[in-house]
Structures are given as structure tokens and as C-alpha cells.
Amino acid sequence: MPSDRSRRRIPDATVARLPVYLRILTEQAEEGVDSMSSDRLAELAGVNAAKVRKDLSYLGSYGTRGVGYEVAYLVYQIRRELGLTRDWPVVIVGAGNLGQALAGYGGFGERGFPVAGVVDIDPGKVGSVLAGVRVRHIDELPSIVQAKRVSIGVIATPSLAAQDAADHLVAAGVTSILNFAPVVLTVPRSVEVRKVDLAVELQILCYHEQRRGGGLHAVTTRSATA
Amino acid sequence: MPSDRSRRRIPDATVARLPVYLRILTEQAEEGVDSMSSDRLAELAGVNAAKVRKDLSYLGSYGTRGVGYEVAYLVYQIRRELGLTRDWPVVIVGAGNLGQALAGYGGFGERGFPVAGVVDIDPGKVGSVLAGVRVRHIDELPSIVQAKRVSIGVIATPSLAAQDAADHLVAAGVTSILNFAPVVLTVPRSVEVRKVDLAVELQILCYHEQRRGGGLHAVTTRSATA
DNA sequence: CATTGTGAAGCGTTTCACAGCC
DNA sequence: GGCTGTGAAACGCTTCACAATG
């Protein structure tokens, strides 16, 4: 079978939206919807219909002109493109407030990212159990990563420990990192890093908040996604 | 005094980086650094030096040719531009795992975003105390927002409750929302929404992870910021 | 003479507009 | 007729390259 294994390059902006479409399509499928137009999907995703069509066109031509897209098939194609046809175990570094919240957040495992382990450098935290997962010492990272074939690490440590956490993850063989600490990490080029920074998000909101500086606003309705 | 009150429009991409520069400059100031070149700041921020200069040029011409930027002055200017010269109290909706972690995260108040209140719709959670903040019922939202002049709300509820939380926030007068629930919110145009979505971030990492599909990687070093 | 500030070129993303197709 | 798929235009952001300047 000469499989159409896509070696196409999909634009970053599109990759960032595919998960949103995927969630919406999955929900709609559960509600019994089995066909959808780009217009409808655009409305639910809070974006422009042309963008939806162009985004989906990078996956291939999976729509039917005059009809729309078959929801189940599109779900399958997006999942395949994103690499979600298998589970991706993650390891969480840092068993503080945030690490606990993340480990306890069920939606993680449900969405195909089972928590393969939680580690911390503080011997005082090692051994305690978070949401069914026992906290282990950071020295055990390499064995966890190898045993469970983990390639994604989540950094949930305080800022000062984050670079150290990254170094441990990289040394253990992790190749993708989701960083919650507000610091710029230095890692090998081959390692992909994404950052989630609360303070940055709030400060951006702040900028707009300050800019409106007391004007009154017409109240029209629209949809919003990041 | 004919104050140079900037009504310039700063590009979104720049606004998103200013908080990163601000954090770095603040740290450097604490370490006694009082002057810095765009090259150095770029290195610490993990971006290109031309970008730093262009970004800073939107604030005005605050550098000195041949020398660099005075750290303290730049910190002041960025803070002013972002509207960080005052505190912005936030209210958190949802006292579950995430709400608790957020309320307990000290860095919040430190960075100028004191938690003005935590509310939940579940009477069972009302009254409990999270990190020194008593959880109140969502019906008290309007009075909290008015009393503390809150304009930023944080949604830390399960997905199903998020739109409801947004409606409550908007009704109470909040004009900026940071949404942690993986749903697209519908709000008036005048309300600014930013979204933080764990699953989306992981799925993006996944895409790249899957794409490399077993190649070996040269290990060079670089810096990364989102 | 090191470093800023910035026009202008380059590049990626969004949107338009319509041909192609069911 | 309705909706997809997509060239091409428009837009915004990044990077280059260098004149301006303390």
C-alpha cells in the first residue's frame, strides 16, 4: 500500500489551530453530528471560514464540495496528522502546587497524555502520592523515561530550578518540553520547547485594559480563541 | 507638562514579548547590571537583536547609541507601557485543583496581580480557605468586582462551566478574561480573552515529536522562548 | 567605534474571490 | 445551488543592512 504519508510541511499557525478543530469536531461527533461545513466549524472555533478551509487543505482534500466535511473522518485525519494515534506519556518535574494540580488534572490522561511519573528534587516530597501517582526522586528520571518511553517532559518547578529540570530532562532523553516556569530555557536545538507563562498572559491583558482607559464599549457579541 | 502619552499602536507580537524583556531586565537590575545592549538582552530573551531594537523602538528612543539601554529606565518605560504602574486585582472563578494552585501561587500577587477573590458555584466549596483566601459563592462576584475594582477574571472551572463563568464575569463588569478551560468562549467584543490550553500545547509538541520520527539529532545549543 | 534606530526587503499568515465540483 | 479548494492580494512580523550618533 503506497500510503500517502504526508511529508508536507504544515504552517505553525495551522498546527496550533488543529487541536482546537479536533476538540470541537470530537464534541460534535459525540452529539451525533456527522457532517459539517467550514462555515459552521469556523463559527464554533471563533475563526474565519477561509482559514478553516485553508488549514484543512494542508491535510489533504477531505471535504466534499457542496456538502462539507465528514466529522468522523476529519477527526481521524487530524489525529493522524498531529500524531495522536498513540499515547504520549509525560513526566512532570516538580511536585509543588502546580505539579500537583497537573497530575491531578484528569483531562491529561484522557486526552492521550498519561502521567508516566512525577519527580521532585526535594527528598521531603518523594514518596508522597499525588492523584494516584507516587512522587519519585529526580535521579530516577532516566529510568522512568526509558521504561515508559517518555518523550515529553513538563516543568512545574520554581523559576530557579527550571533550567536544572530542563537539563535533567534532556539528559534523560526527553525531546519535547512544556515549561511553566517564567524563564528562558537553554536546551539543545533538537529539543522543542513550548512555554506557558501566566504572568505574561496577565500582562498582555493588562496592556489592553490600560489602553481602553475608561471608554464606553458597544456590546456586540463575538467568539474568541487564543 | 505636554506628556508624551503614547497613543501609538504597538504590534501584538511586540506586546507579547515586552513582559519577557521586563522580567529579564528586572532580574538584571537586581544583580546590579545597569546598562545593557540589545545584543545582550536578545541573548537572554532567546531572540534576535534586531527584533529587540525594533520592539523597544515602539516605546520611544530610550537607548544610547554606542552604549546601550539604561536598565532601570527601560524597566520603568516597559512597565508604564504595559500599564503595570498600578496593581490589577484578579478574581478567580473555580476553586478546584487549578483554582487552588493559582490562588496558592505567590508569584501572582508579587507581580502586581493580587487575588481579590476566589468564587465557586458549589456551596460545598464555599467557605473553605485557599492560601489565605476564603472561597465565596459566585453570586458575590458583582460585589467583589465592584468593591475591589477588578477588571481581570481568571476562569479555572471545568469546561462545561466555563461559558457560564464567563457570563458571570462579564455581567459583573470584568473586561479581560484569562481562560484555562479548553473551550471557545462567547463574550462581547469589548471583552478581551486570552486562552491557556494545556492539551493544545501538548498536541503541538506531539506533532513535532511525531514528525521527527526517529532521526538522530545534532546536539547544538540555543535558547527558547514561546 | 560600538551600538542604536529604522527604511526596506523578505517571509509567513490571513483574507479575498472565484473556479471547480458534487 | 452550495460548499470546497486554492491562486493571488493584502497584511503583519521578522530580519537585514546601514546611516545616524553619543
Nearest-Cα distance to chain B for A106, in Å, is 10
Q: What cell was used for A219?
A: 456590546
B188–A97 CB contact, under 8 Å: no
What tens digit of pLDDT does each residue of A119-170 get?
A: 999 999 999 887 788 999 999 999 999 999 999 999 999 999 999 999 999 9
| pLDDT attached to residue B64 | 98
Contact between residue B23 and residue B31 where contact means Cβ atoms under 8 Å apart: no
| Beta-sheet strands, E only, within B28-144 | 35-36, 63-64, 68-70, 90-93, 115-120, 129-130, 133-137
Instruction: Find the closest chain A residue to B111 by CA distance.
Output: A199
Count CA atoms closer than 13 A to A90's CA, side-chain side. 31
- Residue B3, pLDDT > 50, answer no
Residue of A152, A202, A208, A219 to mutate for B, most B C-beta atoms under 10 A: A202
Q: How many residues does chain A have?
A: 226
**What are the CB-based long-range contacts (under 8 Å, 24+) for A104-108?**
A104/A130, A104/A131, A104/B97, A105/B97, A105/B98, A105/B198, A107/B182, A107/B198, A107/B199, A108/B198
DSSP B85: T
Is 70 exceeded by the pLDDT of residue A112?
A: yes
**Count of CB atoms situated within 10 Å of the CB of B65:** 6
Domains of chain A: 4-81 (1.10.10.10), 90-195 (3.40.50.720)
Give the integer Cα–Cα distance in Å for A174 and A181.
Answer: 17
- Terminal-residue alpha carbon distance, chain A: 39
State the pairing for strand pair A133-137/A115-120.
parallel
User: What residue is closest to D6 (Cα–C1')?
Assistant: A54
pLDDT for res A132 = 82
Q: Write down the pLDDT at residue B224.
A: 57
Q: What residues of chain B lie within 8 A of the CB of A208, using their CB? A: 176, 192
Q: What length does chain B have?
A: 226
Record the pTM.
Answer: 0.92
d(CA B143, CA B8): 35
Q: What is the pLDDT of residue A213?
A: 77
Contact B29, B5 (CB under 8 A): no
pLDDT greater than 60 at residue A104: yes
Strand A152-155 to A176-179 pairing: parallel
Tell me the count of A-B CB pairs closer than 8 A: 237
Q: Do B178 and A195 touch (CB under 8 A)?
A: no
pLDDT of A110? 85
Interface test with A, best of B207, B208, B217 (most A CBs within 10 A): B207
Q: Report pLDDT digits (tens) over B176-217.
A: 999 999 999 999 999 999 999 999 999 999 999 999 874 433
Whole-angstrom distance, CA of residue B205 vs CA of residue A222: 29
Q: CB burial class (10 A; 0-12, 13-18, 19+) of residue B6?
A: middle
What amino acid is encoded at A159 in this protein? Answer: S
Q: What is the pLDDT of residues A37-55, one digit of tens each?
A: 999 999 999 999 999 999 9
pLDDT tens-digit series, residues A1-31: 333 435 579 999 999 999 999 999 999 999 9
Rounded distance between C-alpha atoms, residue A190 and residue A170, angstroms = 10
**What contacts A172, CB < 8 A, 6 or more positions away?**
A141, A142, A144, A145, A146, A153
